[in-house]
Structures are given as structure tokens and as C-alpha cells.
């Protein structure tokens, strides 16, 4: 999964390094300045063709622009800071982001919590259950126990 907030930061960084405005980039790529702004703040995603053109414009590799080789580190006080929330949740589930779930679980929204609990229940995510269990709501505890009682 790609963190488009981080990709947007890279687009901004390389644009500024080349002393280009958003209007300049938009003109070179035949898109609107508003679209460039959406890419830069991570709320929009360039098409594959445009990503390739951005790589040529900035003289960087596809992997560099998409942050594919970047280390994934998070601030335990705010694991979502500067990142797409879905990217962080999926990266935690996939083991790409290592966090102590019992310490950061409160930062997840109810839907995100259920995504994590589902991964735990399915055995895709290993955690110290005795510590995490204390942080769960009664409903979340019941969800995890549901199959155990059968």
C-alpha cells in the first residue's frame, strides 16, 4: 500500500527544489493547479501516466517518488501524524509498522480498531493479548471471544 500523504510531500519537495510553482507543474503536465494541490496534500492521486511524467520532470525514479524504499517510522504519540490513516492501519496489520498495540490502540477509530481486531482474530497479526485485552471495549472483547466459545 502506498502512503499518498508522503508521496504528496515528496512532490512538494521536488517541485520546490526546482523552483516551480503548482501552476508551473500543472502547465507542464496539462492538469489544473487544483489537481496538483490535491496530490501535494495527499487527497488526490496522480494517474500512472502522470506519475511517470512527474518522475521525468523531477528526474527521479518511480520508487523514489512513491516512497517504496523509504523506512516507515511513526511517532508513538501520534502514529497517524503526516500519514494516510488507512496506510498506517494496513501497515500495522502487515507488520511494516512496528508498534506496541496496547499503547497506541486508543488512537484508532472504531472502524480501524475492528480492522485490527479482525486481523488478530484471523491470525494475521500477533499481539500480546493479555495487555491489549485490557484496552478493549466489552464489545471488542466479545468479538474476539465469539469463536472461542464454540
Cα–Cα distance list, 143 to 54, 133, 138 (Å): 46, 11, 9
**Per-residue model confidence (pLDDT) at position 118:** 95
In contact, 25 and 36? CB cutoff 8 Å: yes
Confidence of residue 148 (pLDDT cuts 50, 70, 90): low
pTM over 0.85: no
CA–CA separation, 3 and 74 (whole Å): 13
In contact, 85 and 112? CB cutoff 8 Å: yes
pLDDT digits (tens, 9 = 90+) for 121-142: 999 999 999 999 999 999 999 9
Q: Which residues contact 39 (CB under 8 A, 6 or more apart)?
A: 4, 7, 8, 11, 45, 46
Domains of the chain as residue ranges with CATH: 4-65 (1.10.260.40), 85-145 (no CATH)
**Per-residue model confidence (pLDDT) at position 98:** 87
Residues of the chain with pLDDT > 70: what percent?
97
pLDDT digits (tens, 9 = 90+) for 20-54: 999 999 999 999 999 999 999 989 889 999 999 99
Amino acid at each position: 500500500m502506498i502512503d499518498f500523504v508522503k508521496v504528496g510531500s515528496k512532490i512538494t519537495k521536488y517541485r520546490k527544489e526546482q523552483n516551480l510553482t503548482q501552476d508551473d507543474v500543472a502547465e507542464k503536465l496539462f492538469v489544473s493547479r487544483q489537481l496538483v494541490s490535491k496530490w501535494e496534500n495527499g487527497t488526490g492521486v496522480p494517474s500512472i501516466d502522470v506519475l511517470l511524467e512527474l518522475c521525468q520532470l523531477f528526474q527521479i525514479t518511480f520508487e523514489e517518488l512513491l516512497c517504496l524504499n523509504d523506512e516507515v517510522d511513526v511517532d508513538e504519540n501520534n502514529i497517524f501524524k503526516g500519514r494516510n490513516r488507512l496506510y498506517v492501519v494496513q501497515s500495522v496489520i502487515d507488520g511494516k509498522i512496528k508498534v506496541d498495540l496496547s499503547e497506541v490502540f486508543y488512537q484508532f477509530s472504531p472502524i480501524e480498531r475492528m480492522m485490527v481486531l479482525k486481523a488478530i482474530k484471523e491470525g494475521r497479526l500477533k499481539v500480546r493479548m493479555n495487555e491489549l485485552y485490557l484496552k478493549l471495549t466489552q464489545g471488542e472483547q466479545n468479538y474476539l471471544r465469539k469463536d472461542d466459545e464454540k
